[in-house]
Amino acid sequence: MIQKGISKVEKNASSSANIVSEIDTLLQDGVTDSTSVAVYKAPQGIVESPAERLVKLGLDDDDKSIQRWMKRAKSLKEGQWLEFDANSDNSVLNQLAWVSEQFDRYVFVNHHGMKVKDISLEELALKLKSGDIIVLSDSSMPAVEKGLDALIQKIYDQLAFESAHDQLTGLITRKEFERCIAQSVARSKKNDTYYVLIFIDILQFKVINNTCGYEVGDSFLRDVGNRIKSVAFNDAMIGRIGGNEFGVLVPIENEKKGYLLAAEIKSAIEEKRFVSGDQSFVITAVVSMIGFGSENNQVLELLRSVEAAAEICKKSGQKEIQLVRPGDERMEERDEVMSWVARINRALDEENLKVRCQMIYPIMGGNSGLPHFEVLLTVVDENGEHLPPADFIKAAEEYSRMGSVDRWVIESVLVWMKENPDVLSRMGGFSINLSGHSLNDETFLDFIFEALVRYQVPRQKLIFEITETTAVANLEDAADFINEMKGIGCRFSLDDFGAGQSSYAYLKRLPVDFIKIDGAFVRNISEDDVDYALVKSITEMGHFLNKKIVAEFVSSEEILEVVKDIGVDYVQGYYLGRPVMIEDLEGSLQPNHEMA
């Protein structure tokens, strides 16, 4: 290491080797009588001791008086004002800005914050002793300086208040509210205090904002804040933590009393209508709460859990105050969905999604005998295991990421179709599920058109599936979308027919090519007369409208024979075979059992 270090310094050819050799000898043999020893002397004037500095100032280092003034100088605090040249008519005020760790250097600045003095401890002590420098107290400071300090402090206090409080309602901000929660958790541990956290979501805010304008909306929020303050305890911390969301954090005796407070707040918000001009609005609040004491360690989870409980309450239409407790099944279920949210983008980016295909086989004459395949999604975890995609899809739909998933699937299928023309020629094509998000996306059609230009594949082998529920909810848009896609050669299938608001009138308005009967009516069809009658009715009506019928969940020969007798055109289910990866599709173009 020594050789490597010395070799990097410029020197003559032999000096490096000689130095290393001498050091090596010194490390091995230690200091001997023959060892050359030299004494290092610090350059004069670089480092001075306190005694030397005192001598320079003409003082004795044992001067007790100057020692006392040095002690006083050390007690000065940064920010204090001192009057320099106090014995002259040209005195100036400077502020102490910095003191060294050893208390041997002091830096002073002027009113503009510019450095004007850098003096030693001894010099400062001498000037204090002589009266040339005077430490100013608040009472002795000039009125201008006291006013300046007071103004600065006032501005600072105002800025601090504004940063912690909502300008509209005067309640504390979300950031400050979260800080209060953290402090309350710490206090509950220290003092064994019980707290309750209440979350309030006002449902009518957007209606009032859109109907009456932003000024009335602002007035409404202030009114809600005042209603909460009118019933909350004096020591309650109240915050506006979202556009129309409020929080209350208060120390209280127990959960029961916390619930009563939450009920009183809800009642105060809802009991009186909000009136603007000749319009009045009934106010509805979704309220959730959680109590916590010294055993709680989850600071960040407290607010998140009451917000999640309120969201669940809104979706379910419940009006009661939602109590959140450890082990709440609703929270655990939501946490499971939320855990998928973080994986969605990663799955799309890192190719953790895989395409599987399940056969849809023709069983009636005149269908060319070529099977097509429904495209299914599977998720690969970090261990390479294939997971069922139900939770993934649920999270993607809830958090508006299903459109991106649909695009990924379509792109992947088109790539495979382009790269495998021989296999594609032996099959009827792919049936790809589309979500409601894609149907409502105005840019989705453009995406498909552009993709079909990039991938020159037979368009008649693309079948897009939409569920009955999605189609009925967006009937006109769905019909327009289907017509657009059929115009460029694609086909359409109506999935899960019978599970939603089934109506034959819808079939007349939706120009689909296939109707897939919901599997719930097929799985027991060989034993259930009602299911048999329903499937037969759908099949006959579908044929009357010139549509092909697909029966899902065909899991046995008995079911196959029944649906064949009814006249179903295609079947899909485990009796034909399990789903296979798209990469293995070439070896799975025939069903596991004879279909004739």
Least confident of 27-31, 123-127, 557-561: 27-31
| 501 has a pLDDT exceeding 60 | no
Share of the chain above pLDDT 70, in %: 81
In this structure, the dihedral spanned by the alpha carbons of residues 382, 385, 388 and 394, taken in order and rounded to 10 degrees, is 0
- Residue 40: band (very low, low, confident or very high) from pLDDT cuts 50, 70, 90: very low
305 in the same domain as 424: no
Both 33 and 59 in one domain: the answer is: no
pLDDT digits (tens, 9 = 90+) for 323-340: 887 666 666 666 666 666
CB neighbour burial string for 209-220, b if at least 16 within 10 angstroms, e if fewer: beebeeebbebb
Q: Assign residue 101 the CATH number of its domain.
A: 2.30.30.140
Residue at 593 is within a domain: no
C-alpha to C-alpha distance for 307 and 385, rounded to whole angstroms: 33
Q: Is residue 362 part of a domain?
A: yes
> 267 and 168 in contact (C-beta within 8 Å)?
no
Tell me the CA distances in angstroms from 129 to 73, 250, 498, 515, one per residue in order: 10, 55, 99, 101
For residues 2 and 62, state if they share a domain. no
Q: What is the pLDDT of residues 299-310, one digit of tens each?
A: 777 888 888 888
Q: Which helix (H) or strand (E) holds 240?
A: strand 237-240
**Last residue of some domain: 307, 326, 345?**
326
Q: Does 568 lie in the same domain as 461?
A: yes
Q: What is the pLDDT of residues 418-433, one digit of tens each?
A: 999 999 999 999 999 9
Q: Confidence class of residue 39 from pLDDT cuts 50, 70 and 90?
A: very low
Element containing residue 213 per DSSP (H, E): none
β-pairing, 548-551 with 514-517? parallel
Predicted confidence at residue 186, as pLDDT, reads: 85
My answer on whether 366 and 250 are in the same domain is no
Which two structure tokens, joined as six digits, stand for 187?
């206090």
Question: What CATH number should be reported for the domain holding residue 261?
Answer: 3.30.70.270
Integer CA distances (angstroms), 545 to 207, 392, 453, 502, 510, in order: 43, 36, 32, 15, 11
Q: How confident is residue 506, by pLDDT bands cut at 50, 70 and 90? A: confident
DSSP string, 354-408: EEEEEEEEE-STTSTT--EEEEEEEEE-TTSPEEPSHHHHHHHHHTT-HHHHHHH
The pLDDT tens digits of the residues spanning 188-213 come to 888 888 999 999 999 888 888 888 88
Residue 517, classed as helix, strand or coil, is: strand
Q: Which of 569, 522, 573 is nearest to 542 (CA)?
A: 569
The per-residue pLDDT for range 87-119, each reduced to its tens digit, is 888 888 888 989 988 888 999 998 777 889 999
Report the amino acid identity of residue 92.
Answer: V
49 located within any domain:
no
Closest CA to 208 of 244, 168, 246, 166: 244
Q: What per-residue confidence (pLDDT) applies to 43?
A: 47
Are residues 281 and 219 part of one domain? yes
The two beta strands, 133-135 and 548-551, are unpaired
- Is 271 inside any structural domain? yes
Q: How confident is the model at residue 297 (pLDDT cuts 50, 70, 90)?
A: low
What is the reported pLDDT for 2? 52
Which residues, including other chains, have CB under 8 Å from residue 235's CB and lie 6 or more apart?
Answer: 250, 251
**How many other C-beta atoms lie within 10 A of the C-beta of residue 191?**
9
Of residues 276 and 319, more confidently modeled: 276
Residue 367: the pLDDT is 45
CA pair distance 445, 439, nearest whole angstrom: 9
Average pLDDT, stretch 548-576?
A: 94
Q: What is the pLDDT, as a whole number, of residue 339?
A: 65
128 and 62 belong to one structural domain? yes
Residue 157: inside a domain, yes or no?
Answer: no
Distance in angstroms (rounded) separating the CA atoms of residues 174 and 164: 8
pLDDT the model gives residue 88: 85
Do 255 and 307 belong to one domain? yes
State the residue range of the domain holding 540: 353-588
Give the mean pLDDT of 262-284. Answer: 90
Span 148-165, average pLDDT: 71
pLDDT per position as a tens digit, 240-252:
999 899 999 999 9
pLDDT at residue number 390: 73
Rounded to whole angstroms, how far apart are CA atoms 66 and 125? Answer: 7
Q: State the CB neighbour count (10 A cutoff) for residue 269.
A: 21
**What does the alpha-carbon distance between residue 177 and residue 166 come to, in Å, rounded to a whole number?**
11
Tokens 């040249």 sit on residue: 85
Q: Count CB atoms within 10 A of the CB of residue 473.
A: 15
Residue 16 lies in a domain: yes
Whether residue 250 is found in the same domain as residue 297: yes
221: which 2 tokens?
């929020």
Q: Which residues sit opposite 359 in a β-bridge? A: 373
Read off the pLDDT of each residue in 218-237 and give the average, rounded to a whole number.
92
d(CA 458, CA 446): 18
User: Which of 132-136, 330-334, 438-442, 447-451 ranks highest by mean pLDDT?
Assistant: 447-451
Confidence at residue 42, expressed as pLDDT on a 0 to 100 scale: 44
* 573 has a pLDDT exceeding 50: yes
- Strand segments (E) across 29-137: 81-84, 92-99, 105-109, 115-120, 133-135
Residue after which a domain boundary falls, among 86, 111, 144: 144
Whether 401 and 305 share a structural domain: no
pTM of full prediction above 0.75: no
Residue 123 has pLDDT above 80, yes or no: yes
* Amino acid code (one letter) for 166: D
Which of 271, 272, 356, 284 lies closest to 317 in space, CA to CA? 284
Identify whether 160 is part of a domain.
no
Supply 219's token pair. Answer: 């007035």
Q: What is the mean pLDDT of the chain?
A: 83
Q: Does residue 277 sit in the same domain as residue 182?
A: yes
Of residues 347, 288, 336, 290, the one with CA closest to residue 313: 288
CB 503 within 8 A of CB 528: no
Task: Please indicate, yes or no, whether residues 566 and 451 belong to a single structural domain of this protein.
Answer: yes
What is the reported pLDDT for 90? 84
- Position 170: which residue type? G
Express as a percent the part of the chain with pLDDT over 90. 41
Average pLDDT on 543-555 reads 94
149 vs 317: which has the higher pLDDT:
317
Cβ(560)–Cβ(361) below 8 Å: no
Where are the extended beta strands (E) located within 54-183? 81-84, 92-99, 105-109, 115-120, 133-135
Indicate the Cα dihedral angle 262, 266, 269, 270, nearest 10°: -170
Could you give the number of structural domains in the chain?
Answer: 4
Q: Is residue 223 part of a domain?
A: yes
CATH (domain of 405): 3.20.20.450
Interval 361-408: pLDDT, tens: 999 864 457 999 999 988 777 676 776 677 777 777 777 788 888 999
